[in-house]
């Protein structure tokens, strides 16, 4: 079963670009970007740059995304950023449990579940990231790992929320390595995720977009986006160069 027709591509800057760099990037990218009606494009800068580039993107073809959020709306949580804060700045999408947060910050499936719930509660559209590492794939546990991350991360999500939910499949072994999953590997895992979404959300499952993330480049984006079951892309390193991301966003 295929997913939604409208694709979503998100440029995740990670911990890169100062406010002035981000503004310069946006001014460079916008004239180069011609967004077709069959896709949405979003940028996920660091928290410090959200407010600075929001006015530059407002009313244009690029939406604003955030790289993380906390599971409470306010309170004594030093260093955290809440959903209402993101929404006020103009954020539409928010990444949840990116593999780098799982690995470096020990983010758990339980935390992911609470963050997905917080994003939905605040009117944001969460992008739950799932994926196996190299050892898990080589040992034949990739499917089990991803199914578990989905089941736990989406615990308590009602089927009615499906149209606002995105899943990003990001094989950890492909992130920042230049070694993207093959179209066959991506198609196989996206089909597994689609089946798991049907189990978890019933008839609402097909309303969830499944993005691919992991060394997406101008050289492979066309083939990846033609791959069955791929509803978009989560782009890392290549999104830091305006020309490269413009080409990715204009995939054919």
Task: Report the distance separating Cα 160 and Cα 156, nearest Å.
Answer: 11
**Residues 216, 177: Cα–Cα separation, whole Å:** 10
CA dist 75 and 77 (Å) reads: 6
Output the tens digit of pLDDT for each of the chain's 252 residues: 445 769 999 999 999 999 999 999 999 999 999 888 999 999 999 999 999 999 999 999 999 999 999 999 999 999 999 999 999 999 999 999 999 999 999 999 999 999 999 999 999 999 999 999 999 999 999 999 999 999 999 999 999 999 999 999 999 988 878 888 899 999 999 999 999 999 999 999 999 999 999 999 999 999 999 999 999 999 999 999 999 999 999 999
Listing DSSP states for 175-187 in one string gives TTTS-PPPHHHHH
Catalytic residue among 40, 100, 107, 170: 170
Question: Is 104 known to be catalytic?
Answer: no
Residue pair 129/100 in contact (Cβ under 8 Å)? The answer is no
pLDDT digits (tens, 9 = 90+) for 132-191: 999 999 999 999 999 999 999 999 999 999 999 999 999 998 887 888 889 999 999 999
Q: Answer whether CATH 2.40.110.10 is correct for domain 7-249.
A: no
Structure tokens, 88: 């006020």
CA atoms of 101 and 153, how far apart (whole Å)? 14
Residues 168 and 156: their CA atoms lie apart, in Å, by 19
Q: Where are the alpha helices (DSSP H) in 35-169?
A: 47-57, 83-89, 99-104, 109-121, 134-138, 142-153
Angle between helices 142-153 and 183-201 (to 10 degrees): 40
Residue 107 annotated as catalytic: no
- Where do the structural domains in the chain lie, given as residue ranges? 7-249
Catalytic residue among 98, 100, 107, 136: 98
CA distance 168 to 251: 18
Give yes or no for a contact between 117 and 156, defined as CB atoms under 8 angstroms apart: yes
């Amino acid at each position: 079963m295929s997913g939604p027709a409208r694709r979503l591509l998100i440029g995740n800057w990670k911990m890169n670009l100062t406010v002035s760099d981000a503004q310069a990037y946006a001014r460079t990218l916008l004239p180069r970007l011609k967004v077709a009606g069959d896709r949405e494009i979003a940028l996920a800068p660091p928290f410090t740059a959200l407010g600075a580039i929001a006015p530059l993107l407002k009313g244009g073809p690029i939406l604003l995304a955030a790289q993380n959020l906390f599971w409470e709306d306010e309170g004594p949580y030093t260093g955290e950023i809440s959903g209402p804060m993101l929404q006020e700045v103009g954020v539409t999408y928010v990444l949840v449990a990116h593999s780098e947060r799982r690995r470096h910050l020990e983010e758990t499936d339980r935390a992911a579940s609470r963050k997905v719930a917080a994003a939905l509660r605040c009117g944001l559209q969460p992008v739950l990231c799932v994926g196996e590492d190299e050892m898990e794939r080589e040992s034949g546990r990739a499917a089990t790992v991803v199914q578990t991350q989905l089941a736990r991360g989406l615990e308590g999500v009602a089927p009615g929320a499906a149209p606002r939910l995105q899943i990003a499949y990001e094989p950890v072994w492909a992130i920042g390595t230049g070694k993207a999953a093959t179209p066959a590997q991506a198609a196989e895992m996206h089909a597994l995720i689609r089946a798991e979404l049907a189990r978890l959300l019933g008839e609402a499952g097909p309303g969830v977009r499944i993005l691919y993330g992991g060394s997406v480049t101008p050289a492979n984006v066309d083939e990846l986006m033609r791959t069955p079951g791929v509803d978009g892309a989560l782009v890392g390193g290549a999104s830091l160069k305006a020309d490269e991301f413009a080409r990715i966003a204009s995939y054919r």
